[in-house]
């Protein structure tokens, strides 16, 4: 029983990160029908910005060696500001890598290349500025919270619980906003049919920018939280999460917000169920599981099957 | 003179044409490549990718060597230039960086950063007859790749068991050991085999062997699988970032016993990751800034002049040593017969023999090589990590 509970706890905490990550992909995909491959780089940027926000200093290898902000913000404030910074950065990605192609009605494949290029440039800029070394947020970033909690025999780091809670809160707020608010419904209308939405008086371009800003915000928040949980493993650490997030996006159903949540949790649990001494193979197991599900449901767990005109 | 039969005349005419063509081709083909002036040494280390924390340390060592050893000076008649290429963190990038340096007429190549890459890139240089000096390739089988492959990084079989011995001296009664290693990395798999043999030799059977991937940062699954087994010692073979994270999560989730870390974690790059929780780690070292010797004193002074009061990491010292070894051998060769302008292939071959034959006083201590390119190093140590109260700065306190 203890073992099962531990697997559940491990799976949910990892899955929450994947879900948060995939949600960022989902927002852009649902509006534009393309994937923003710079999302992993924004995730990394969010982690670095949070680190700077809490007063972290740049190590000795980067161009900014030794530099730190003159003040150390509380972690929640630093995290929020990092999210806002990433929202701004993603708007820049949209302006540089997406908008020019959108105006020319370019093939979706081209977006893949330009967004990947933007991501690579961003990661390399981070390496130049911060160097290649890893960073970790201060151990006392969560104040007086105990570093570990025990739940009916299962061990859980407090930061993982925080991740779960933030993920649940973000998911709830986002779902409510999408369903209940005027802006959220406008975004959904654009994702259904941009031309019709424009005829109804909705500024489609503004909605696209909004989806990029929200997606960047989510990337920044998840990057900062993961940075707190497992450190910032150099400027490339977003790549691994980017690949996993992509798998989650497909598993949940392209463009589905609840699907991103469910897909993240399923992949997290699949990984956690791999026995510890075989956990080097957890990626293989997670992707094999994903493959098996897609054979049964090609549209993903909560995706809509394409309607074919006959 | 009897007339030449027609068929023979035709054969002779054909032969003459072929001979003329061959002469023309020989005359038109480029001359054999020659050693440039100043002669070039190449280095290919991981400046990008997951292993760039190692490569960036090595870059500092190479830059120091280029500044202090490269120019001509007293006792150094021959100026030597050093070109550094990014070998990335994967095998293909390392092989490509090697090809680039070979194409630039490098006399020898220092690199790559990872043993995993060495198994792919070193054969490229070996086939081209270019000496390779591995600065941080500690896996089993590296010098055996070919006659042009050497290393200054002592094999894990010499270094790793020392820290196990020290952990047992600290706690002679320990019995329950858990082992962690990165299963997709040649160095880690090689080192863990040595660690596990050292444990078996001391009649200690691991209660659990946990595998992960080099790029992993979340070890919740592995750690929570091990802790109920109540290990008294944890032995880790991993890189600085994954290893640092593993230590941090082990401590956060309640592990209080001894931790022995492998050679790749002998780097200050672990300090920002595991912070206060790095304290007490036992690491066998192929280099310590505290090692006695004039060469090390000079190296540490040069490092501090460039980077402030920090102590140089092992990877920096090993990269510097590799460059020093290549430069000293090249200058000895040049003193006997100037190398500039001579055929490149010939000088590369002679340089390989000269490196193997030499003895070197380096920051790692006195070094020489076996005929097949394995380093013979005399000074090793075991250090304990001591973190300062702020959890941001630390040092390696030499124990043995």
pLDDT 10s digits, B170-228: 999 999 999 999 998 888 998 999 999 999 999 998 999 999 988 888 899 899 999 99
Residues B334-364: tens digit of each pLDDT? 999 999 999 999 999 999 999 999 999 999 9
Q: Same domain for B251 and B175?
A: yes
Strands (E), chain A: 148-151, 154-157
CA distance A137 to A226: 10
User: Residue B307 domain-assigned?
Assistant: yes
Residues shown for chain A:
310
User: Residue B63 domain-assigned?
Assistant: yes
Question: For residue A139, which residues of chain B lie inside 8 Å, CB to CB?
Answer: 275-277, 391
Predicted local distance difference test score (pLDDT) of residue B347: 97
User: Residue B33 domain-assigned?
Assistant: no
Q: Same domain for B251 and B123?
A: no
Is A277–B208 a contact, with Cβ atoms under 8 angstroms apart? yes
Structure token digits, residue B287: 């280099």
Question: For residue A240, which residues of chain B lie inside 8 Å, CB to CB?
Answer: 215
CA distance B65 to B60: 9
Predicted local distance difference test score (pLDDT) of residue A99: 93
Mean pLDDT, residues B287-303: 91
β B233-237/B258-261 pair status:
parallel
Mean pLDDT, residues B4-32: 59
Q: Same domain for B339 and B351?
A: yes
- For residue A54, what are the CA distances in angstroms to A50, A73, A84, A228, B75? 6, 5, 15, 11, 51
Which CATH class for the A2-296 domain?
Answer: mainly alpha
Q: Same domain for B265 and B310?
A: no
Window from A52-61, A211-220, B20-29, B120-129 with minimum mean pLDDT: B20-29
Whether residue B10 has pLDDT greater than 90: no
- Alpha-carbon gap: B85 to the closest alpha carbon of chain A (Å): 16
Structure token digits, residue A255: 């463009």
Is B53–A282 a contact, with Cβ atoms under 8 angstroms apart? no
| Count of the separate structural domains present in chain B | 2
Identify the closest residue of chain B to A240 by CA–CA distance.
Answer: B215
Q: Same domain for B174 and B253?
A: yes
User: Residue B387 domain-assigned?
Assistant: yes
Q: Same domain for B276 and B164?
A: yes
CA distance A100 to A111: 10
Q: What is the CA radius of gyration of chain B?
A: 25
Res. B367 pLDDT band, cuts 50 70 90 = very high
* pLDDT averaged over every residue in chain B: 90
DSSP A261-307: HHHHHHHHHHHHTS-GGGGGGHHHHHHHHHHHHHHH-TT-SSPPPPP
Q: Give the 3-state DSSP-derived string for A80-105, with helices as H, strands as E and coil as C.
A: HHHHHHHHHHHHHHHHHHHHHHHHCC
Predicted local distance difference test score (pLDDT) of residue B30: 55
User: Residue B12 domain-assigned?
Assistant: no
Predicted local distance difference test score (pLDDT) of residue B2: 55
Res. B54 pLDDT band, cuts 50 70 90 = confident
CA distance B347 to B34: 9
Q: Same domain for B175 and B54?
A: no
Is A134–B52 a contact, with Cβ atoms under 8 angstroms apart? no
Predicted local distance difference test score (pLDDT) of residue A114: 95
Question: For residue A160, which residues of chain B lie inside 8 Å, CB to CB?
Answer: 220
Query: Which of the pair, B379 or B5, is modelled with greater confidence?
Result: B379
CA distance B85 to B100: 8
Predicted local distance difference test score (pLDDT) of residue B274: 92
If phi > 0 it is left, if psi is from -120 to 50 it is alpha, else beta; for residue A206 that is alpha
- Domain ranges for chain A, please list them: 2-296
Predicted local distance difference test score (pLDDT) of residue B178: 97
Q: Same domain for B390 and B256?
A: yes
Predicted local distance difference test score (pLDDT) of residue A285: 81
What's the DSSP call for residue B312?
P
Specify whether the CB–CB gap between B261 and B291 falls below 8 A: no
Identify the closest residue of chain A to B240 by CA–CA distance.
Answer: A134
Window from A152-166, B227-241, B317-331 with minimum mean pLDDT: A152-166
Structure token digits, residue A28: 């852009």
SS3 B155: coil
Please tell me the pTM assigned to this model: 0.81
Q: Same domain for B206 and B257?
A: yes
Structure token digits, residue A286: 């997670």
Question: For residue A234, which residues of chain B lie inside 8 Å, CB to CB?
Answer: 50, 52-53, 241
Predicted local distance difference test score (pLDDT) of residue A91: 97
Q: Same domain for B88 and B77?
A: yes
Please give the residue range of the domain that contains residue B190.
Answer: 157-285+381-398
Structure token digits, residue A279: 């956990």
Interface of A with B (CB under 8 A): 2, 6, 10, 13-14, 59-61, 124, 127, 131-136, 138-139, 147-148, 154-155, 157, 160, 229-231, 233-234, 236-237, 240, 271-272, 274-283
- Alpha-carbon gap: B94 to the closest alpha carbon of chain A (Å): 18
CA distance A67 to A58: 5
Q: Same domain for B146 and B200?
A: no
Question: For residue B275, which residues of chain A lie inside 8 Å, CB to CB?
Answer: 136, 138-139
Among B210, B228, B308, beta carbon nearest to A277: B210
Q: Same domain for B190 and B316?
A: no
Predicted local distance difference test score (pLDDT) of residue B186: 83
Question: For residue A48, which residues of chain B lie inside 8 Å, CB to CB?
Answer: none
ipTM > 0.90 for the complex: no
Query: Which of the pair, B249 or B392, is modelled with greater confidence?
Result: B249
CATH of residue B86's domain is 3.40.50.2300
For residue A60, which of B103, B269, B396, B183 has the smallest C-alpha distance? B269
Among A2, A127, A134, beta carbon nearest to B273: A134
Q: Note down pLDDT in tens along chain A; length 310 residues.
A: 578 888 898 899 889 888 988 889 989 988 888 899 999 999 999 999 999 999 999 987 788 988 999 999 999 999 999 999 999 999 999 999 999 998 888 888 899 999 999 999 999 999 999 988 888 888 788 888 888 888 888 888 888 888 889 888 988 898 899 889 998 899 889 888 888 888 889 998 999 999 999 999 999 999 999 999 888 888 888 888 888 888 888 888 887 888 888 999 989 998 888 887 777 778 888 788 788 888 888 888 888 776 666 6
């Amino acid at each position: 029983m203890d073992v099962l509970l531990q697997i559940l706890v491990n799976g949910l905490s990892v899955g929450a990160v994947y879900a948060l990550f995939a949600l960022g992909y989902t927002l852009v995909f649902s509006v534009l029908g393309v994937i923003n491959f710079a999302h992993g780089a924004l995730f990394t940027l969010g982690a670095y910005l949070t680190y700077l926000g809490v007063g972290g200093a740049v190590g000795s290898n980067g161009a900014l060696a030794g530099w730190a902000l003159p003040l150390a913000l509380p972690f929640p404030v630093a995290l929020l500001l990092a999210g806002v910074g990433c929202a701004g950065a993603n708007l820049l990605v949209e302006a540089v890598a997406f908008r020019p192609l959108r105006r020319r009605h370019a093939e979706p494949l081209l977006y893949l290349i330009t967004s990947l290029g933007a991501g690579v440039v961003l990661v390399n800029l981070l390496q130049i500025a911060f160097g290649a070394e890893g960073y970790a947020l201060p151990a006392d970033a969560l104040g007086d919270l105990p570093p570990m909690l025990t739940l009916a025999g299962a061990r859980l780091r407090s930061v993982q619980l925080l991740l779960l809670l933030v993920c649940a809160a973000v998911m709830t707020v986002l779902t409510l906003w999408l369903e209940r608010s005027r802006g959220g419904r406008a975004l959904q209308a654009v994702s259904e049919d941009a031309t019709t939405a424009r005829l109804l008086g909705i500024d489609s371009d503004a909605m696209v920018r909004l989806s990029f800003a929200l997606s960047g915000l989510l990337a920044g928040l998840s990057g900062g939280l993961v940075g707190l949980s497992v450190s910032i493993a150099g400027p490339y650490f977003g790549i691994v999460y980017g690949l996993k997030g992509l798998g989650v996006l497909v598993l949940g159903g392209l463009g589905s917000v609840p699907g991103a949540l469910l897909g993240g949790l399923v992949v997290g649990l699949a990984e956690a169920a791999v026995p510890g001494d075989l956990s080097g193979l957890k990626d293989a197991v997670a992707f094999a599981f994903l493959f098996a599900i897609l054979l049964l449901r090609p549209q993903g767990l909560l995706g809509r099957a394409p309607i074919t005109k006959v | 003179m009897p007339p030449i039969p027609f068929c023979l005349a035709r054969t002779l005419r054909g032969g003459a044409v072929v001979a003329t063509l061959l002469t023309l081709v020989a005359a038109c083909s480029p001359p054999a490549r020659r050693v440039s002036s100043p002669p070039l040494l190449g280095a290919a280390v991981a400046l990008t990718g997951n292993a760039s924390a190692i490569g960036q340390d090595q870059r500092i060592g190479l830059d120091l060597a280029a500044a202090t050893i490269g120019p001509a000076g007293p006792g150094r008649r021959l100026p030597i230039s050093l070109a550094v290429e990014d070998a990335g963190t994967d095998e293909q990038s390392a092989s490509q960086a090697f090809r680039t340096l070979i194409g630039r007429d490098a006399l020898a190549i220092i690199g790559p950063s990872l043993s995993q890459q060495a198994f792919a890139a070193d054969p490229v240089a070996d086939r081209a007859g270019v000496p390779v000096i591995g600065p941080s390739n500690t896996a089993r089988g590296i010098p055996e790749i070919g006659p042009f492959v050497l290393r200054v990084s002592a094999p894990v079989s010499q270094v790793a068991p020392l820290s196990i011995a020290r952990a047992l001296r600290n706690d002679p009664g320990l019995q329950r050991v858990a082992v962690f290693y990165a299963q997709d990395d040649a160095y880690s798999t090689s080192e863990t085999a040595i660690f596990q043999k050292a444990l078996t030799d001391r009649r200690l059977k691991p209660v659990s062997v946990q595998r992960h991937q080099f790029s992993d940062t979340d070890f919740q699954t592995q750690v929570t699988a091990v802790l109920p087994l109540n290990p008294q010692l944890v032995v880790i073979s991993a890189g600085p970032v994954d290893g640092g994270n593993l230590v941090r999560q082990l401590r956060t989730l309640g592990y209080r016993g001894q931790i022995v870390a492998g050679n790749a974690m002998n780097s200050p790059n672990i300090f920002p990751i595991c912070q206060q929780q790095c304290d007490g780690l036992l690491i066998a070292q192929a280099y310590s800034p505290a090692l006695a010797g004039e060469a090390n004193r000079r190296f540490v002074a040069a490092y501090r002049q460039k980077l402030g009061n920090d102590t140089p990491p092992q990877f920096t010292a090993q990269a510097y040593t590799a460059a020093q070894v290549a430069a000293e051998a090249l200058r000895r060769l040049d003193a006997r017969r100037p190398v500039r302008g001579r055929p490149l292939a010939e000088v590369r071959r002679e340089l390989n023999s000269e490196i193997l034959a030499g003895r070197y006083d380096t920051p790692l201590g006195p070094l020489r090589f076996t005929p097949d390119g394995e380093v013979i190093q005399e000074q090793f140590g075991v250090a304990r990590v001591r973190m300062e109260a702020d959890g941001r700065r630390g040092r390696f306190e030499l124990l043995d």
